[in-house]
Amino acid sequence: MNQNWLIIALPVLMLAVLNIKASVALARANCYERKQKIIQFVLVWALPVVGGILVWKLAASSSATEISAPGAGSDGFERNQKEEIFW
């Protein structure tokens, strides 16, 4: 069975739990005005979404325009040079 979905699901779940905890703590806080709480709720929930979209778009555009060095394979590694490791 393919487990690749876990790579995405686990961080999303962790982010959701963190956002819920932050939201509950913010809702219980008495030191902020209503307007401040609303702005902070928007920041807590919108920034991860905006960041995710930005990373997704950047990754998609960079994979569409891959640049490799002369003599390099498709993954960017030289194929015609022998590398020796001395211990």
pLDDT in tens, 16-58: 999 999 999 999 999 989 999 999 999 989 988 887 777 778 7
Tell me the backbone φ, ψ of residue 33, rounded to 5 degrees: -80, 165
Annotated domain spans of the chain: 7-60
pLDDT at 67 (0 to 100): 53
Note whether 19 and 45 are within 8 A (CB): yes
pLDDT in tens, 54-87: 777 877 777 655 555 555 555 555 555 555 555 5
Residues contacting residue 22 through CB under 8 Å, at least 6 positions apart: 44
